[in-house]
Structure 1
């Protein structure tokens, strides 16, 4: 009986560990981005996976973008970005018209988990910015260099 228990225990332990997600890969694959607002409103969004970001001694996060795509969207925006290789994403949005103020709601999910949900005004001189990098924490105060 003891021999059976000693042989069964490692097997049971292996099933328990496998069942609890111990061996699952947590590296992000996809970022889902949705921005809603008045239908037909146009927004310019800069998307980048090519940047350097870090927090300085006074708590500001500095983002230096060295490669990006700029896209003019008509709201609503509903897109999925593959981040499997880079494991990071920077987005910055402004109204296309420099005189427009647009009330928007933005949502960002990483592999189906919501990590950002907020609403507010999108202003021409105060862009909406979002910064994500796997296993790195940044401050909300961003300084962007493009």
Structure 2
């Protein structure tokens, strides 16, 4: 009887643990990036998964990019980036024309969960920047070295 109860308890425990998501993989797979603004406006976006980032003693996040792709997009941007291996992504956007100021809305989702949503002006000398690294918290104040 004790052997039966032990097996029943173990089986019940196994079902409970399997059903609660304890063994689910939380590692990010895809980042969905969307930027909207005036239709036809062009934006240069730098995408990188090859960088080093850290927060210094004064609370400034420093990002040193050592490999990147630069893409000229026509708004709206709607793309998915696979981050399964690197588990990180840095993006920086500026208007293509150095005299343009573009009002944009940017949205970033990780595996369907929204982690960033904001709108504002995209200025030539003040780029829009986004930094994501799995299980790491950074400050909003970024210093970028490319």
Instruction: Classify the TM-score, shorter chain.
Output: over 0.9
Cα distance in 2 between the residues matched to 1:102 and 1:5: 68
Deviations 1:43-99 (A, max 9, x none): 000000000000000000000000000000000000000111111000000000111
Q: d(CA) in 2 for partners of 1:5 and 1:104?
A: 62
Q: CA deviation at 1:5?
A: 3.1
SS at match of 2:7: helix
What's the CA shift for 1:10? 1.2
When the two structures are aligned, how many residues end up with a matched partner?
146
For structure 1, list consecutive stretches of 5 or more residues without a partner in the other structure. Answer: none
Stretches of structure 2 lacking an aligned partner (at least 5 in a row)? none
Q: Tell me how far apart the structure 2 counterparts of residues 82 and 47 of structure 1 sit (CA, whole Å).
A: 12
- Using structure 2 for the length normalisation, give the TM-score: 0.97
CA distance in 2 between partners of 1:103 and 1:12 (Å): 56
What is residue 49 of structure 1 aligned with on the other side? 49
- 2:10 aligned counterpart, secondary structure: helix
CA distance in 2, matches of 1:7, 1:67: 54
- Taking the aligned partners of 2:84 and 2:39, their CA distance within structure 1 comes to 32
CA RMSD of aligned residues (A): 1.0
User: Matches of 1:79 and 1:91 in 2, distance apart?
Assistant: 12
Distance in 2, Cα, partners of 1:29 & 1:40? 30
TM-score with structure 1 length normalisation? 0.97
Instruction: Name the SS for the 2:54 alignment partner.
Output: strand
* Structure 1 residue 2, shift from structure 2 partner: 5.2
For residues 105 and 13 of structure 1, the distance between their equivalents in structure 2, rounded to whole angstroms, comes to 47
Aligned to 2:63: 63
Shift of 1:20: 1.0
